[in-house]
Chains A and B, each alone.
Chain A
Amino acid sequence: MGWMSRILGVIMAGSGGVLLIFGMDPTTGIFSYVYFFLGLLMMSMGFALITGGRQQQREQKPPPPTVTEIRCDNRECTFKEIRDFEKGDYILKPVDVPCPKCGGRMTVEGIYIVREEPEQTITI
């Protein structure tokens, strides 16, 4: 649900509230019941419109990209490269290109995604 229904919801809830208050006024007379229930109905429909679309938006987040981590086999050399995953990569695959730092052989040390952890709301 888009912004349109959100705005419509706010308007409906607002006018429902006005009707409700109008209905509770003893001077309105015999139709106060009608106003009262109409106000309740409009308010609940309005709130339903406001909150309705929220769930879907959260689900449509794309998964984080997969990255390939390449490291030099030489333990003293600290060269490390992180690039996007390419089809055919696998962990511990020997890489064809030599290390740009020392010219040694390199290996795929890891393929992973970095998950964004949702903020911890429960701290127990």
Chain B
Amino acid sequence: MQIGLPTNDFSWIINLAFFAFILIFSLYGAKIQMWQWLKQIEAGLIELKRMMLESRQTAIDTFKIYGRTEKDVASEIDRWLDYFTIMPVDLDPAGILKRLDHLLDNRRDRFQEFVSELAPDATEIQVQSLENTLEVSQVLDLIFRIVRHFYILGKKTGSQIMIMQIQMQMPDLLRIAKAYFDAIAAFSDGKPIGDGIGPLVITKFAREQGATPDTYVHEISREVGYYPVEFEERTVLALRATGPGGTVGKPGFAVKKLVEENKGKIARIITVDAALKLEGEELGRVSEGTGAAIGDPGPEKHAIEQAATENGIGIEAIVIKEDEAAAIGVIPKQVIDSLPEVIERIKTAILKRTKPGDKIILAGIGNTIGIGL
């Protein structure tokens, strides 16, 4: 190539073209990149929309077998997809947890009312699973609407920061949406999910000590009960939400109630839950620590912590590491295989840190879909 020394009469045209080329790219390079990013967001948005529509259809198909027509179900579900909850004011934090708890209760009541109206033939257990199915469709709908909002706004205003943000978060958003999308099949069929490992541990432990579904004490708080079992001269109150319907219940308040009912007798609170693993950590790894392992918006964790603090009760947590896809999708084998180790660690904790005659609360936190008593 002959850079420099032009030897021809037309060379000025070529030179001009060359400089124009450089000028265009240095001045409009950002614009071209924006255009490219918008295209990438658009591709992601199409994928999100597909997942949203398919999950909505799954929800409709799941609901329509319980007594209402498809048309009714579709219009009602559309009305409910963007149901919202307004978080309580935190400028005046006094009593915020009580207010939040009240709002969450209200929300659950509305959900239950809606689902039982839309599926009149469903049993209580089926209603709970239907609620979960609806919630997953809501999450996918929400992700789609938010991404679409920023896409359109970015396009309208040409704001680079708006487009950049959404383009950079797209892979993560798609990953989360995919996890929920795969989860909806689990919920609509009533399969156990990874988050349910807590309640499963409780029942396996209780059954080892001779508990049966008949010894389970129902409803000490909303949708939560416990098995009273004897273990090495100690009384273990093994607490979990009632299954096999999909519910998390209110285990935090159940712990508080048990502490109050057994004033001065509880020696330790052990919580078992699924926890998000870091990338690179092994799926189904068991780890332990101090504190209340419960992932609620706040009120329940607070209830456990306060009950423990006021009564001077030792509190510890055992968690099973899972990724998002495992936690809300069908439980993978690696997670189930961690059961013996979890139970072993529970036994060690009880034997090492409590005395014979003590009472211990063992609480399994998680969604009980597909996990029987």
Contacts and interface: CB of A to CB of B under 8 A. Distances in A.
B1 A85 contact: no
Contacts of A117: 283
A112 B332 contact: yes
B333 A113 contact: yes
B330 A113 contact: yes
B330 A112 contact: yes
B251 interface: no
Interface of B: 1-2, 7-8, 10-11, 14, 17-18, 21, 178, 182, 185-186, 189-192, 200, 203, 207, 243-244, 280, 283, 326, 329-336, 370-373
Interface centre among A90, A108, A111 (most CB of B within 10 A): A90
Contacts of A87: 189-190
B4 to A, nearest CB: 12
Contacts of B10: 30
B336 A112 contact: yes
A92 B373 contact: yes
Contacts of B186: 66
B154 to A, nearest CB: 22
6 closest cross-chain pairs (CB), A and B: A90-B244, A92-B372, A30-B8, A90-B370, A112-B333, A115-B332
Interface size on A, as a range, is: 20 to 34
Interface stretch (A9-17, A31-39, A98-106): A31-39
Given A30-B8, A63-B182, A92-B373, A111 B330 contact: yes
Contacts of B207: 92
Given A30-B10, A30-B11, A66-B330, A111 B182 contact: no
B1 A36 contact: yes
A66 B371 contact: no
A110 B336 contact: yes
A114 B330 contact: no
Nearest to B243: A90
B14 A30 contact: yes
Given A63-B182, A90-B371, A92-B372, A111 B192 contact: yes
B191 A85 contact: yes
Contacts of B190: 87-88, 90
Contact of B2 (A26, A111, A113, A114): A26
A97 interface: no
B110 to A, nearest CB: 27
A93 B17 contact: no
Nearest to A108: B372
B372 A122 contact: no
A111 B334 CA distance: 12
B308 to A, nearest CB: 30
Interface string A23-63: 11010011011101100000000000000000000010001
Contacts of A90: 190, 192, 243-244, 370-372
Interface centre among A63, A88, A114 (most CB of B within 10 A): A63
B1 A111 contact: no
B11 A91 contact: no
B1 A24 contact: yes
B335 to A, nearest CB: 8
A94 to B, nearest CB: 9
Interface in A56-92: 59, 63, 66, 85, 87-92
A4 interface: no
Nearest to B178: A59
B29 to A, nearest CB: 15
Interface centre among A88, A89, A108 (most CB of B within 10 A): A89
22 contacts: A29-B8, A30-B10, A30-B14, A34-B14, A36-B1, A66-B330, A87-B189, A90-B370, A90-B371, A91-B244, A92-B207, A92-B373, A111-B192, A111-B331, A111-B370, A112-B192, A112-B330, A112-B333, A113-B333, A115-B326, A117-B283, A124-B280
